Amino acid sequence: MNMIYEHNNKPCIICVAITGSVPKKENNPNLPISVSEQIESTHEAFEMGATIAHCHVRNKDQTTTSDPAKFSLLMEGIHKHCKGMVVQFSTGGRSGSGYERGGMLSLRPDMASLAVGSNNFPTRVYENPPELIEWLSKQMSDNEIKPEIEVFDLSHIFQASNMFESGLIKQSPYVQFVLGIKNAMPVDKDVFDFYLKTIRRLLPKSEWCAAGIGRYQRIVNEWCIRVGGHTRTGMEDNVRIDKDTIAPSNASLVKIVVDLCNKYERPVANFVQTREILGLRPI
């Protein structure tokens, strides 16, 4: 399904990571926490041009949870108010532990994030043991969910390639590079270029995306757009427009990406194109 566009006119898919598991209202009061705030924020971001919603859910006291009931309500709201938008659940390790992380996959979102290896995070080890990775990928495959492979380290690209070769990942993997988490891979252009070279070598049919954390969000967006990749923005990764201004909304961060796409003459993917490029079921 992919590789249908020429490099320079390929629509750029914008993913909005609306909430995440780390930021709090204390960091930015505009951060959506309740499911109704999340639906409203996603809707604004969708209208601005984002076509994938990367979702975490929170408790009333802002702590993280993997509660399937909350994921279900959020997905229902996105389906209702953002028709065609791709729903991607996070199975990240900061929202629960062990098998809890995949407890909501039976809800069958279009996509789910899948970490394929361990690494350090700012204050702890991000633990993704092989047995859990295998279980999560099996759950995704059984529920026809396309995984988004989270790459926090070079070895994770090799892992994604091995999982594809062995059939653990069915379709050509969609890969997300995460750059700029303290103690993990830095925002370094040489590393980024090497990631691209490696993915083109190991997984030539794969589409890829990248996210920069904190003040690096915009520069990573720009790197992706310039070389034909897709990109992620949103308050999960960064709560500020610049060092003096907090983001008024997720849509305001999406707008920055849309403006960059215009600058580099990349069309912004609509939901039909997004589903086509990623090989997802059409609406």
The binding site for Zn ion (CB under 5 A) comprises: 90, 92
Name the minimum Å distance from CB 95 to Zn ion. Answer: 8
Name the minimum Å distance from CB 113 to Zn ion. Answer: 6
Nearer of residues 48 and 181 to Zn ion, judged by Cβ? 181
Own/partner pairs, 244-252, CB within 8 angstroms, 24+ separation: 246/27, 246/28, 246/30, 247/28, 247/30, 248/30, 249/30, 249/41, 249/44, 249/45, 250/16, 250/18, 250/32, 250/41, 250/42, 250/44, 250/45, 250/50, 251/41, 251/44, 251/45, 251/47, 251/48
CA 12 to chain centroid: 14
Residue sitting closest to Zn ion (CB): 90
Name the minimum Å distance from CB 70 to Zn ion. Answer: 15
Nearer of residues 114 and 228 to Zn ion, judged by Cβ? 114
Name the minimum Å distance from CB 108 to Zn ion. Answer: 19
Nearer of residues 10 and 111 to Zn ion, judged by Cβ? 111
Query: Do 149 and 137 form a contact (C-beta atoms < 8 A)?
Result: no
Residue (of 126, 251, 265) closest to 182 by Cα position: 126
Name the minimum Å distance from CB 54 to Zn ion. Answer: 5
Name the minimum Å distance from CB 150 to Zn ion. Answer: 8
Strand, helix or coil for residue 247: coil
Q: What CA–CA distance (Å, rounded) separates 69 from 55? A: 13
Residue (of 70, 133, 60, 147) closest to 107 by Cα position: 70
Nearer of residues 11 and 92 to Zn ion, judged by Cβ? 92
Nearer of residues 54 and 255 to Zn ion, judged by Cβ? 54
Nearer of residues 92 and 93 to Zn ion, judged by Cβ? 92
